[in-house]
Amino acid sequence: MSETDIYELIECMTTLIRSEERKKCAELGLQPVHFQILNYLSRCNKYSDTPAAIANYLGMTRGTVSQSLIILENKEYLGKSTDLTDKRIKHLRLLPEGEKVLKQARPSDLFQTATSILHSTENLSADTNVFQQALTALQKANHSQSFGVCNSCRNFSEKHGEFFCQLTQEKLSKTDSDKICQEHIPV
């Protein structure tokens, strides 16, 4: 499997995960950045629980993080404390309400369903791509269109150097066969 194929599979998985996160965040009145901050704070250690560390980890400006922290603090999802040694440093921690909303916002149902699908697949083999298996399981769990790369679709065929879609009964160009298709059905 080529590096590009792995990139595309990971990109598809990430898109599915982010889509599910956005849905859950909208239901809870959160912005995705708020979820990312809460999630980070649940996973970071005492040396990494500062606004600067959050900005660095998420690749965001300190201003964006600062505004988000104000909102999260006002909602009582996180608390701040001053470092005992260096009074300029503020440490952040999740409060019980923040832990509760984070748990609700995580797409755990999607992953539990995908894991069940992945484990129940009978024809898993050592030479089957684990990324493709994981993506297929996530897509089935999410009941979503796969938007996979055309040439990895069940309906894709190649004969004598020509590409063909069995679903639409149309010839495909090499360019089209290498791009994402919304009609994709995982193999």
Contact 78, 100 (CB under 8 A): no
Residue 3 has pLDDT above 70, yes or no: no
Is the predicted pLDDT of residue 4 greater than 80, yes or no? no
Listed residues 105, 122, 138: the one ending a domain: 105
Number of domains making up the chain: 2
* Three-class secondary structure of residue 172 per DSSP: strand
Q: Is 19 contained in some domain?
A: no
Q: Which of 104, 114, 175 is nearest to 143 (CA)?
A: 114
Residue 111 and residue 67 in one domain: no
Model pTM? 0.64
- How far, in Å, CA of 155 to CA of 112, rounded? 28
Q: Which of 42, 77, 105 is the last residue of a domain?
A: 105
**133 CB contacts (<8 Å, ≥6 apart)?**
118, 121, 124
Task: Say if residue 93's pLDDT is above 60.
Answer: yes
Model confidence pLDDT, tens digit, residues 107-121: 777 777 777 776 776
pLDDT(124) > 70: no
Handedness of CA 167, 169, 173, 174 (dihedral sign): positive
Query: How do residues 47-73 score in pLDDT, each as one tens digit?
Result: 788 999 899 888 899 999 999 999 999
Would 113 be classed as within a structural domain? Answer: yes
Q: Is 17 a member of any domain?
A: no
- Which residue has better confidence, 16 or 98? 98
CATH number at residue 49: 1.10.10.10
**Per-residue pLDDT tens for 133-172?**
776 677 677 666 556 778 888 889 998 889 999 888 889 8
pLDDT range class, residue 125, cuts 50, 70, 90: low
Which residue type is seen at 22?
R
Residues 93 and 121 in one domain: no
Residue-number span of the structural domain to which 85 is assigned:
31-105
Residue 14 lies in a domain: no
Q: Are residues 36 and 63 in the same domain?
A: yes
Handedness of CA 102, 107, 109, 114 (dihedral sign): negative
